[in-house]
Amino acid sequence: MIPAIRAAYNQQFTAARYEAFLNGLAQDAADIPAFRVAETPVFVPRALTTKLVQACEEIVNVILRPDFKTITQDAIPPALKVAHENEHPHFIIIDFAVCYNEQGELVPQLIELQGFPTMFAFQDVMARQFREHFNIPEGVSNFFNNFNSASYFEFLQELIVGPYAPEEVVLLEVNPEAQKTRVDFYSTEKYIGIKTICITDLLQDGKKLYYTRKGRQIPIKRIYNRVIFDDLEKQQARLSGHVNLFQELEVEWITHPNWFYRISKYTLPFIHSEYVPKSWFLHQLPVIPADLENYVLKPLFSFAGQGVKIDVTPADIDVIDDPQNWILQHKVHYAPAIETPNGPAKCEIRMMYAWPDNSPRPILVHNLARISKGKMIGVSFNDKQDWVGGSCCFFEQ
């Protein structure tokens, strides 16, 4: 999207460099990513960066509303509420489509947001490998707020591990070895120093949790949570017995599971910004729009695009028997703004926030990008093409 940098990158690109880049990723992360990694980063011009940051801060202002917990009290399914919710999430991710406005300028349009971690460790690995294997200009950066790779991981370690020994903090997931994001778990272990464990490996004694390492039981003081609890419920039949995480337990959560629901698609109707498409809870929709082709229908309780209907018909709405669990959102049109050797691609940019307990606001730290040439953006929808997939951004300084 920065024409001069894009042209230079495309000219220098070779299949051999890309292969070396992928090998570098695998070596650093000790695994081959289970999703397609794009051949290119996204180069974001300063004007779009300014709009992205403005949009994010407007969204953060909504999350900082004194009544935010009140207006999102129905966001958490009653059966999925976890005890000891804290005052704010430690991680927030905000996803934007890159679009054109009526003046032909690049603008962000909000797609989704989550009070949940993303690939905070692996995204820095990716950015460093792009710099290692391609000529990325010094005038662009993958970081915000003056972070560099060293200070970024120091910051993350302080946030995730805090006052505890690293062995007393675990990254918790369901069947972590089977997850497409497992490469981030390995990078987290490497750079943060905590162990990844499956929920089925938790041990309980009273209100305390433990796991076994080298023949000894180690107390768990904090959980860096990567479990999506409604997904956990769907997998119960395939899991062996495990600790009930909904009971009273003496453990801290980074981020507490309830924030996954509070800051989610449920939040969209409360946000008013030129960079946020209008959204309604389906049961509060005053009238079904005549131009449904300009809207998308999204279930509140889904992740990674599951269940989203992008070509909505009245019949799709008629068959929904729980409209309180759906939103209708004005459709956005992604800009084919990334020139590739075999045609333009579009992209989505994820802005990644971390929120220490001693900070009055969440802090923008890093990013993630998804590049696509199809209708759907997620990397799993683009595995048959090239110059698409997971990536990162370099923002013009």
pLDDT digits (tens, 9 = 90+) for 343-355: 999 999 999 999 9
pLDDT at position 308 is 87
Most confident of 82-91, 224-233, 236-245: 82-91
Beta bridge partners of 198: 173
User: CA–CA separation, 354 vs 161, rounded Å?
Assistant: 14
DSSP 300-339: SS--TTTT-BSS--HHHHHT-S-GGGEEEEE---B---B-
Does some domain include residue 188? Answer: yes
Whether 380 shows a pLDDT value over 60: the answer reads no
* Mean pLDDT within 197-220: 96
pLDDT band at 235 (very low <50, low <70, confident <90, very high): confident
Does some domain include residue 318? Answer: no
pLDDT at position 178 is 92
Tell me whether strands 326-330 and 279-281 are parallel, antiparallel or unpaired.
antiparallel
The rounded mean pLDDT for the chain is: 94
* Mean pLDDT within 222-229: 95
- Please tell me what DSSP assigns to residue 286: S
Tokens 């005890």 label which residue?
83
pLDDT at position 304 is 60
Tell me whether strands 169-173 and 195-198 are parallel, antiparallel or unpaired.
parallel
Compute how many other C-beta atoms are within 10 angstroms of the C-beta atom of residue 148. 12
Whether 33 shows a pLDDT value over 90: the answer reads yes
- Please tell me what DSSP assigns to residue 64: T
Does some domain include residue 321? Answer: no
CA distances from 388 to 181, 372, 379, 392 (A): 17, 5, 8, 12
pLDDT at position 229 is 87
Q: How many domains does the chain have?
A: 1
pLDDT at position 239 is 79
pLDDT band at 157 (very low <50, low <70, confident <90, very high): very high
Sign, Cα dihedral of 241, 247, 253, 257: positive
* Mean pLDDT within 64-75: 96
- pTM for the model stands at 0.94
pLDDT at position 234 is 77
Does some domain include residue 313? Answer: no
Does some domain include residue 41? Answer: yes
Closest CA to 224 of 302, 300, 167: 167
In the chain, the DSSP E strands lie at 42-44, 91-100, 106-114, 140-141, 169-173, 195-198, 203-205, 208-213, 216-219, 222-225, 252-254, 279-281, 295-299, 326-330, 346-354, 363-372, 389-391, 393-396
Residue 69 domain boundaries: 3-277+332-396
pLDDT at position 45 is 98
pLDDT at position 382 is 55
pLDDT at position 385 is 85
Does some domain include residue 375? Answer: yes
- Residue % of the chain over a pLDDT of 70: 96
- Residue % of the chain over a pLDDT of 90: 87
Closest CA to 310 of 336, 327, 331, 325: 331
pLDDT tens readout for residues 305-343 = 668 888 899 999 999 999 999 999 999 999 999 999 999
> Three-state DSSP class for 141?
strand
pLDDT tens readout for residues 177-207 = 999 999 999 999 999 999 999 999 999 999 9
Does some domain include residue 378? Answer: yes
Compute how many other C-beta atoms are within 10 angstroms of the C-beta atom of residue 50. 12
* Mean pLDDT within 57-82: 95
Does some domain include residue 127? Answer: yes
pLDDT at position 244 is 92
- The most distant pair of C-alpha atoms in the chain lies apart, rounded to whole Å, by 64
pLDDT at position 164 is 98
29 vs 305, more confident:
29
* Mean pLDDT within 206-226: 96
